[in-house]
Amino acid sequence: MVSHIFFSWPVDRLLFEMLTLSGVQVGADWASILRRRHIYREAFSGFDVDAVAKYTEKQMASVSAGYGLDLGTIRGAVNNACRMLEVRRDFGSFGKYVWGFVNQKALSPGYKYSRKIPVKTSKSESISKDMVRRGFRFVGPTVLHSFMQAVGLTNDHLVSCPRHRVCSSSSSTSSV
């Protein structure tokens, strides 16, 4: 059991990064966030969940001043890191927890037109509700849908997109 948890922690680091970036992406576009990704990585200790969960109020203020990031965003990320540790304790990893919502297989709705791709779904709403109940912040249904797209929980590529098939075939081998 311990080795499984150890190997799933690097996945949790990536999931923490994508959850954090999905939250800060609200009101901005992904390209802008990705251009600043290196700043967020530095500010949040390479998205090391264990390290970020230990940030003190003084460290949060220092990160805010040093990187020009909103203190509320930093507090939210630190809170979410603490919640992820709780989820890790309860489920073995955050990856197991989120992939459990889709029965370990990515959703692939098969959209033909971009106007049909929703900003939130009933699945993102149910994950959001559970995460809010667990004390996570910045995890509304729209943020969660963006997170689901970013980490491959849902394949919202148009069926005409060359990535659709690639993502559909790799979703059956996704790991937690």
91 occurs within a structural domain: yes
- Using one digit for the tens of pLDDT, what is the confidence trace for 35-52? 999 999 999 999 999 999
Q: Which structural domain, as residue segments, surrounds residue 154?
A: 2-171
176 occurs within a structural domain: no
- Using one digit for the tens of pLDDT, what is the confidence trace for 2-44? 333 334 558 899 999 999 999 998 878 888 888 999 999 999 9
11 occurs within a structural domain: yes
Query: Domain total for the chain?
Result: 1
Q: Cβ(44)–Cβ(52) under 8 Å? A: yes
CATH number at residue 113: 1.10.340.30
Instruction: Please report which confidence band the pLDDT of residue 134 belongs to, taking 50, 70 and 90 as the band edges.
Output: very high
Q: Cβ(84)–Cβ(94) under 8 Å? A: yes
47: left (phi over 0), alpha (psi -120 to 50) or beta: left
Secondary structure class of 70 (helix, strand, coil): coil
Between these two residues, 55 and 156, which has the higher pLDDT value?
Answer: 55
Question: Is 161 labelled a binding residue?
Answer: yes
110 occurs within a structural domain: yes
Supply the pTM of this predicted model: 0.85
Residue 130's Cβ-count burial label (10 Å; 0-12, 13-18, 19+) is middle
Question: Is 157 labelled a binding residue?
Answer: yes
